[in-house]
């Protein structure tokens, strides 16, 4: 399992994970960068866990800093014969968009979570 994202940040940044949502472990600490970079974090140690919480944390270390911009977050899961990609993207207006095969979304969220179809249109499972 891997986490891949694009980011730009002017101070230290940390990615923490938790299997219970309470106790977090730092899996990576990043030094400041001034341009967008793509980072990949190996989360294979957590591949068998039923739940995994991922926290993006930044620290300006006592200085005025611009913050951590994060975009195009991908979490990939690999099994013996199946690879599944789930993509959450934070839009400019602060909305998270989920992209995944519609069959996966419908089976996971049968209550009608919207999924993206062709282009910019949206549809909802009406089952």
Instruction: Summarize pLDDT for 69-115 with one digit per residue, the tens.
Output: 777 787 776 654 444 455 555 555 455 555 555 566 555 555 544 44
**Comparing 48 with 118, which gets the higher pLDDT?**
48
pLDDT of 21 reads: 84
Q: Which residues of 1-20 are buried (b: 16+ CB within 10 A; e: fewer)?
A: bebebebbbbbbbbbbbbee
Q: Quote the pTM value.
A: 0.55
């Amino acid at each position: 399992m891997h986490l891949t994202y694009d980011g730009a940040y002017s101070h230290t940044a940390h990615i923490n994970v938790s299997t219970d949502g309470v106790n977090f472990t730092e899996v990576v600490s990043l030094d400041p960068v001034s341009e967008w970079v793509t980072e990949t974090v190996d989360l294979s140690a957590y591949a068998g866990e039923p739940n995994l919480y991922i926290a993006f944390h930044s620290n300006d270390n006592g200085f005025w800093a611009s913050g951590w911009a994060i975009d195009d977050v991908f979490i990939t899961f690999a099994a013996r014969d199946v690879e599944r990609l789930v993509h959450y993207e934070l839009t400019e207006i602060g909305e998270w968009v989920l992209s995944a095969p519609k069959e996966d979304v419908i089976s996971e969220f049968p209550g009608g979570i919207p999924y993206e179809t062709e282009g910019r249109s949206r549809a909802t499972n009406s089952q």
